[in-house]
Every structure is written in structure tokens, then in C-alpha cells.
Amino acid sequence: MQDLPGELSDIVAVMVGVSVEGPYSYRVPAGLSVVRGSIVAVPLVGRSTLGVVWGAPADNFAHNRLKDVERVFDVPPLSEELLRTVDWVSRYTLSPPGLVLRSVLRSSEALEPERAVTAFRATGLEPEKLTRSREKVLDLLMDGEAWAKAALVGASGVSASVIEGLERSGAIERLEVPPPPIVLRPDPDAAPPTLSAEQQAALDQIRSLEVDRFGVALLDGVTGGGKTEVFFEAVADTLRAGRQALILLPEIALSNTFLTRFARRFGTRPGEWHSDMTPVQRARTWRGVADGTIRAVVGARSALFLPFHELGMIVLDEEHDGAFKQSDGVNYHARDMAVVRARFAGARVILSSATPSVESRNNANQGRYKHVLLTSRFAEAALPDISPIDMREEPPDKGQWIAPRLAREVFATLDRGEQALLFLNRRGYAPLTLCKSCGHQYQCPDCSAWLVEHRFRGVLMCHHCGHEQRTPKSCSACGADDSLIAIGPGIERVAEEAAARFPGARMVILSSDMGSHTQLKQRFAEIETGEYDLIIGTQLVAKGHHFEKLSLVGVLDADLGLDRGDPRAAERTFQILTQVTGRAGRASRAGKAFLQTYHPTHPVIQAMIRGDREAFYAHELAAREAGGLPPFGRLAALIISANEHDPAFEFARRLLSAAPMAEGLKLFGPADAPIAMIRGRHRVRLLAQSGKDFDLSGYVRFWLDNGPKATGNLRVQVDIDPQSFM
Ligand SMILES: [Zn+2]
Ligand SMILES: [Zn+2]
């Protein structure tokens, strides 16, 4: 298929936004004209479907059965770089291109012209009768401008009928005007900050990447080091150069603080793109990005597929965050795909993190990314002093989870009028419930996972599928009364212990299931103003909140997640421990952190205690290299699922035996996935591992195209570069 610039002939290939493998041919009827990237409506199996003109058809002979393009939408055609990104993502993730295209065509409302707004303007004629109310309206319209009806009502305080009366009298006339823009143009010179010498040096390094060419910088700096100010200045450069900027964030819903910061720097809020928006906001933002009126967008990962035409910069803040990986539909990682899109767009990328992913650190070490370091904290605040508590030597009393030494530190902190945080990355009351009479263990009916007790809500809940049931009074297996016991701690259980041990402390529990986003935001604000002494939290508290008075962090289970058979376990543990201990002493006071651990000699725990992040990266990179794991090798996971276990396993075995031989390629499995059943589907896993220069996506596609086909309720899901091994 050719990529013809400019106008195409009367038969074109159209990629439709459904799960198909390639474009279909359509005829362009007289009177319509299209170019590559034009967004069109075409008939597909009897219904009108959105699609994008992909180019000339593969076979150019005119046959009569071709259907006509129904409509060409009056929006700018998609940019060449976006079309190439769609193709690339499709090939890399093994997702049908039409499915990837759906991430672009997210808002069909955006394709329709925006509805005009009713406005009024003075005609200069005097009305016959001039009341006080009419006078108010005419006074406002003295400026000669057209006023939107709603604005006129609001400013004058009169009713709509007064305005309509004036219109009938001929004193004012009605106009239809375009609606005001959804956001104003950001001003790169609105409020430039005063940067520290180190921040300025970091910015200078980023500026050594040319503003109109592809380049990637890893902005690698401690929490509180002022990374945001630095990348805002790079965004300002991009805006000055007449190009658009995109800032991607994990968990956008909790980032109102960030949007306000943006507004303070640039004089107006950015365009926003996240799941909390109304369809109308979505449509207007999409259109504003496409027609270039929106110059900067702050959004969640799917903003990567917005129809920019002048994209000059993509920033990923917290680039290591797992939220950038999408794992349903198209399995893509927004960090990697951002680099791909930026390459096609000739744009710069800034990856920002206090704990960069091992992949990005390796790219920086190899010189592929510019490594920009910010090592000192603002206001001379020291990094916290981190100590281990060896749980084999100083264990908590039976039935408790807080070791005596940590408890003493909490008391001392509270006595000084400062805040303490107890961290456990596990929601609920207890991860396992069993009956002490018969030993029955409560398990999800649809998943191979224990039900987690949530005592506040009185339920047992599955964290994989959301199944929940009331916590029974008597054992559902043997009928014994009050025989259920909780095994192990969750955050609610720690809170129960803390309430008993630190009476009088004002305590708050922070976990994603403890309220709506609005309620959680409120809790964070209350902590900042010092309304609580003791914070009990999950990883929700680890992310980007400034707590001025917090000087002690206790991690109750630093080993959680370390000993799973997951190649990324050490990295994730290092990242979360760094983030959560970084909460201590962010302002002017030095903080302390304690890690309760059974493995004080583990490299991750050692790196934490010594404050030696370089040691962690060095150790982890060496371990990955020795194992041929990413970024030194490639992985692809195939999850074969079915309603029954044996057919899934049997199919996986057949698939494995059909795998083509290739040099340096290793295949593992079939094996039951670590979570062998989710939502009633049995899951069997195959894993392919290759060297880093091997086209693993291409290999897996060839394998699946030529291997046995999944039929009936069998399904094969491919995850290239899996982040989770569940
Ligand atoms: Zn029982
Ligand atoms: Zn479940």
C-alpha cells in the first residue's frame, strides 16, 4: 500500500475503528475529496462506521461492488506521525490496527461542528419603553461587542424575558457565535520561576536537545528536588517554538494540585484528558487538540493518542509508574509508545522520576537518553535516615504487627507534636480468613485467590474480580459459631492495633477503598493542615503529597512483594520503599524511616538503608543481564484461558509444540498462571524469552498465525513486555 500525499484517487483504503486486521477499500463519490488521515464514515456490515483513510488500496482495479464513503468529517486529517504510531503500536503489541485506531477516535461527538452560542449586540435603536432592567442590559452592550446570552443574564442580573423583550423592540439583535474556547492559550512567559543553580543546570542539559528534533532526557531526581519546575520550563520552550506539549501523569484524578501548579506557571489551566471528564468536555478537548487551539494537555496514558498536529514535547511524570501500562484491550506501555510517537513527530521526551525504571536507567547509562540528575532537595532538607528492624530479632508481640522499637519511635514523634506514617501496602483487614474449628479457608468462587476481609464494611472481598460477600457469623463449611479468625495484617488491622497502642493520637486511614476521590482529596488536605497525628496508609500515600509535619515513616512489611517469582519484584519494592520513606522530613526537619524486615541483607533493603540508589541499579542491572531479562532481553507472555482447566492446558501444549525454532529463543511452560483462575476462567501461561535484538513481536505473530487456532471458549492473550506476572 502506498502512502500518497495530497489527494487520492477515487478508490481508497479505509481503516475502520473495529477489531480488523487491515483496511478495506471504498469508493470516493464525486463531490467528496479525501487525503491520507481524513476521518470518514463508511458502511460496514450494514451500519455506518467511523474510519480513517489509510492510503491507496492494495489492489487498484475498480470493481463495481465497492461501497461509497458516506461522509468526510470537517476536522483536520490525522497527522502522518499519528498514523505511523498507530501502525507501530499495532505491530508491536499484536493488536489489530483498527483496535488501536479506536484509541484515537475516542470521541465521535468531536467530529461534529461545535454548537454555536446565542449572543446579543446593541443595534443603536432606542427601545420605546426604557425600564431600569432594560437600561442595565443596554449599559453592558455599550461596548459594541456581542455578549453571550448567559453572560448577559449573569452580568446584568435581569431575567431572560427582559432580553427577549429588548430584541422584539429592535434595540438589540441576536447572533450565533462560536462557543468560547475550553481553555485559554498558556503563556510561556506568565510566571517563570527562579530556579536553583542545580535546576538551571538540569534545564540547560535538557535544552541541549534541540527543540525541533527527537531526543529523550531522563530527569532523574530525588523527591522534593524540583523536577516539575524544570520540565515546566522545557514545556515553555516548546510552546514558544510554536509546538504543542503533552504531560502524562499516572492517576490523574488525584492531581488537582498539579493542574493548579500548571495554571500558576502558565496563567491558565491546561487541556485535560482523563476518565472523570464529561463526553462534551472530551469532545471539545479532542477537537481543540486537532485544530491546534489547545497548546498543552495534561492527561492520563490514553492522551498519548490525541490528534496533535504540532506535537513538540511529551513529558511522563513518575515514568516508572505501573499505571502507564494498559493491560486490557491493547496491551501497550505509554512510556515506550511515547518514545515511539515522539520519534515520528520529531519531538522531545522527558521521563521524570525519583526512582526511574530499570529500562530507562539502562538507556541513560548507555547514552541513548540524556541523563539529567537533580540530587539535592529544596530547602536543604536531608533525606531521611533509614534503619532496618530485624523481625527475627525484635519481633512484635503475638497478635501485633508494630515492633516495640517502631512503637517507641511513634510515641516520641507524637510527643514532639509531629506526624508519623505507618505504611502497609495491603488493603482490608486481613488477607486470609479461616475457620478454627474445621480449617476452611475462604476463597473466591471465581478466582484462585483468598478473600480479603474488609472489616469496616463487614465483607469478604476478592481483589481480583471484585466479588464480595457478607462476612458470615458462622462457618459456611462446618456451621461453627464465631469460629472465623483473621490471618495476617491488612491496613485496617494495623489501624486497630495503632488505635489501642497510641490512644489520643488523631488517626486517619488512607487506602483507595476508603472513600471517593473527593473524600480522599479532603483527607490529604486535612493531613497537610496538621489535623492528624498518625497516618495509616497503603501505596496511595506514597505518591506526590507534601506533608510538612511528617517526620517518621514506619514500613510494616518491607519484604512484601520481594519474594514472588516476578522479575520486576525487586524494582517495584525499591520504588515504593523510596517513595514512602521519602515522605519523612520533606520540609525543614530531618526525618527517620524504619523498615520492618525478615531479610535485612537483601540488596533492595541494603540499598535503602545505605541511601545508595546507585547500588540498587547496579545490582539489579547485573541480575537482569545475567538472566537475559529486560532490558537485556525481551519477554512475551501468552495467557491461554478457557472455562475448563484441561482444554486450556492441552491447547497451550499444542501451541508450544507448534512454536517455530529460532536461535536464542527460549520458551517456558505451559504452567498454570500464578493466579490460575480469574472470573471463572482458567489461565495457563507460556513465556517466550529472546535476546534484545530479536523481533519477538514478529516471531509471536508468525507463531500464532501458523499454529493451532483457538476455538470455542479458548482465548489467547499476548502481552509483549509484560509488567505483571500474575
Ligand atoms: Zn468451619
Ligand atoms: Zn475473584
Condensed to tens digits (0 to 9), the pLDDT of residues 61-84 reads 556 678 999 999 999 999 999 999
In angstroms, what is the span from residue 439 Cα to ligand 1's centroid? Answer: 6
562-605 per-position pLDDT tens digit: 766 678 889 999 999 988 888 887 555 678 999 999 999 999 99
Quick one: average pLDDT of 227-254?
Answer: 91
Ligand 2 centroid – CA 450 distance (Å): 8
The mean-pLDDT minimum among 11-20, 47-56, 111-120, 212-221 falls in: 111-120
pLDDT of 194 above 90: yes
Residues 11-45, buried b or exposed e (16+ Cβ, 10 A)?
A: bbbbbbbeeeeebbbbbbeeeeebebbbbbbbebe
Q: What's residue 587's pLDDT? A: 56
Residues 6+ apart with CB under 8 A from 172: 120, 121, 122, 123, 137, 138, 141, 163, 166
Q: Give which of 55, 52, 57, 58 is closest to 100, Cα–Cα.
A: 52
| Residues present in the chain in total | 726
What is the chain's mean pLDDT, rounded? 90
Distance (Å) from CA 481 to ligand 1 centroid: 9
CA of 103 relative to ligand 2 center, distance in Å: 28
pLDDT at 163 over 70: yes
**Which ligand places an atom closest to the C-alpha of 472?**
1
Lowest mean pLDDT among 218-227, 496-505, 695-704: 218-227
Do residues 280 and 109 lie in contact, with contact meaning Cβ atoms separated by under 8 Å?
A: yes
Per-residue pLDDT at 258 exceeds 80:
yes
Q: What separation in Å is there between the alpha carbon of 442 and the centre of ligand 1? A: 10
Among the bound ligands, name the one nearest to the CA of residue 476: 1
Q: How far apart are CA 690 and CA 667, in angstroms?
A: 9
Tell me the CA–centroid distance for residue 477 and ligand 1, in Å: 5
Alpha carbon of 680 to ligand 1 centroid (Å):
24
Residue 446 Cα to ligand 1 midpoint, Å, equals 21
**Residues with a beta carbon under 5 angstroms from ion ligand 2:** 444, 446-447, 462, 464-465, 467
Q: Which band of pLDDT confidence, cut at 50, 70 and 90, is reported for residue 1?
A: very low
CA–CA gap between residue 25 and residue 311 (Å, rounded): 30
Residue bearing the bigger pLDDT, 652 or 2:
652
User: What pLDDT, on a 0 to 100 scale, did the predictor assign at position 379?
Assistant: 44
Question: What average pLDDT does range 7-24 have in this prediction?
Answer: 86
The tens digit of pLDDT for each residue in 393-412 reads 999 999 999 999 999 999 99
Q: Calculate how far, in angstroms, residue 202's C-alpha sits from the geometric centre of ligand 1.
A: 62
Compute, in angstroms, the gap from residue 27 CA to the centroid of ligand 1. 70
- Ligand number nearest CA of 450 is 2
What is the model's pLDDT at position 378?
Answer: 53
Cα(400) to centroid(ligand 2), Å: 28
pLDDT digit string, tens, across residues 407-431: 999 999 999 999 999 999 899 999 9
CA of 545 to the centre of ligand 2 (A): 32
472 CA distance to ligand 1 centroid (A)? Answer: 11
Helix axes 149-156, 132-140, angle to 10 degrees: 120
Average the pLDDT over 621-629 and give the result: 92
Q: What is the pLDDT of residue 204?
A: 97
